[in-house]
Amino acid sequence: MILYISIFFALQMPHTNQRDINNKVMQHRPMIEQILNSLENVLNYTNTNYRKLNADAVLGISIAKAHLAKIQIHSSIISLLKEKTDIILKKSAPKVLDEVDWSFRFLLKYLLVTETWEKNVIFTQNTVPLTKQQNSQNPNWKTVIEFSDNLLNKNRAEKQWNDCVYSLLTNYLFWNDCKINEHCEKNFLLNKSINNGYGILHRLLFIQITQSRKCPDKNKWNGKIVELCSTSFLEADQNSKYGFIDILDDLFLEQVLLCGQEGFTEFFNDRWIQHVLKIQKENGCFSSNQDSTNIVVHRKRRNSNQISIECTDHTTGLAAAVLSLILRYLLV
C-alpha cells in the first residue's frame, strides 16, 4: 500500500479549487496515509470474516462505501477501497437479509442500500453551539465512573427506536407516506429524557433516515440535529479530557460518524482522529469493549457478535464508516 500512497499524492484532482485541495492534502499527508492504511486493513478483515458480520456491521460497510463514493479524486487507491466495500456488501448483505424475519427484510434492505446514505455534506467549523443548560451539565460529571455510567446505562430509547423506524419505513415504502408517527415525534424525537449517550444517537440516526427519503420536509429537523450534536460533542469532549474511556470507544465512534456526516468538523480534530486509529487492533478489527447497542432496526434486540476475543463486528463495521468519512473530509 505504501507505493500506492506515494502515487496517490502525485495525482491530479478534478475540482474547481484544486490548488486549495492539493495544499490541504499535503498538509495532512501523514494522517491521510495512516487512514488509508487503517481503512484498507479493516476492509481486508471484514472481507475475510464476512460470514460473521451482523446487520450493523454490514450497515457500516454500506455507509463507508457511500462516503468513499463522494470522494472526487481519480485515484487507484480510492477505487480499490470502493471495490473492496462492494465485494464485502455483495457477499455479506444477502446473508444478513436471510437471517431476519421476512417482515423486517424490506426495511433492512432499504437501510443496507448505499444510495440511502449518499448525500452532499458541507463541512463547516465551530457549528455546534452549546447552550447554558448544556454547559452546566459538565460539572455534574464528578468521576469517570459516573460519567461513563451516565452515557451507557441511562435511557437508550432502544424500543422507541425499533418501533419508530419500523413505522417510518413501513409507511414510506408501502404507501409513500412521508409523515412521522405522532407518537414517535412526541415521545421519541422530542423526548427530553432521551438526551445522553446512545439515546441522542438513536434520535439523530432516526432523523437521518427520515432525510434519506424523497420527502418535501427533509430539512424540518435541521435545528434538532444541531441540538443533538451539540450535546453529543460535549460528551465526546469530556471523554477526550478523561483520556478516552475504553468502554466508550463504540459510543465515541458513533458520535464522530453521525455528527461528522452532518458536517460538524469539531468531531475531526487531530487528537480524536488519532484515537480512532489507535484503537484499531493489529489484525485490522475494532472492539467495543462492551455489549454495545445495535443501530439497525430489529424487533428483538441483538447484542454485537464477538468475531474473536478482541474483535466486535458492530464496532468494526462502524469504524470502517468513520475512517471513510474522515478520509472524505480530508480530501474535499
Q: How far apart are CA 247 and CA 317, in angstroms?
A: 17
- On the 0-12 / 13-18 / 19+ scale of CB atoms within 10 A, 158 is middle
* Nearest alpha-carbon partner for 262 in 293, 292, 233: 233
Q: For residue 103, what pLDDT is reported?
A: 76
Q: How far apart are CA 31 and CA 225, in angstroms?
A: 28
* Nearest alpha-carbon partner for 204 in 272, 171, 269, 157: 157
Band of residue 216 on the pLDDT scale cut at 50, 70, 90: confident
Q: How far apart are CA 128 and CA 259, in angstroms?
A: 10
Q: How far apart are CA 294 and CA 301, in angstroms?
A: 8
Q: How far apart are CA 126 and CA 191, in angstroms?
A: 26
Query: Do residues 123 and 265 lie in contact, with contact meaning Cβ atoms separated by under 8 Å?
Result: yes
Q: Is 307 helix (H, G, I), strand (E, B) or coil?
A: strand
Q: For residue 159, what pLDDT is reported?
A: 86
- In the chain, the percentage of residues whose pLDDT exceeds 70 is 81
Q: Is 308 helix (H, G, I), strand (E, B) or coil?
A: strand
Highest-confidence segment of 25-29, 69-73, 217-221: 69-73
The pLDDT tens digits of the residues spanning 117-171 come to 999 999 986 667 655 455 545 546 668 888 998 888 767 788 888 899 999 999 9
Q: For residue 9, what pLDDT is reported?
A: 52
**pTM, full prediction:** 0.89
β-sheet bridge partners, residue 264: 124
Q: For residue 4, what pLDDT is reported?
A: 54
Q: Which CATH architecture has domain 28-330?
A: Alpha/alpha barrel (1.50)
Q: How far apart are CA 87 and CA 196, in angstroms?
A: 36
Max CA separation in the chain (angstroms): 55
Highest-confidence segment of 97-101, 126-130, 324-328: 324-328
What mean pLDDT comes out for the span 62-74? 93
Query: Do residues 122 and 263 lie in contact, with contact meaning Cβ atoms separated by under 8 Å?
Result: yes
Band of residue 72 on the pLDDT scale cut at 50, 70, 90: confident
Residue 3 has pLDDT above 60, yes or no: no
Residue 104 has pLDDT above 50, yes or no: yes
Residue 301 has pLDDT above 70, yes or no: no
Q: How far apart are CA 203 and CA 193, in angstroms?
A: 12
| H/E stretch holding 311 | strand 311-312
Secondary structure of 195-223 as H, E, C letters: CCHHHHHHHHHHHHHHHHCCCCCCCCCHH
* Nearest alpha-carbon partner for 250 in 301, 195, 192, 303: 303
| Cβ atoms within 10 Å of 41's Cβ, excluding its own | 19
Pick the more confident residue, 173 or 3.
173
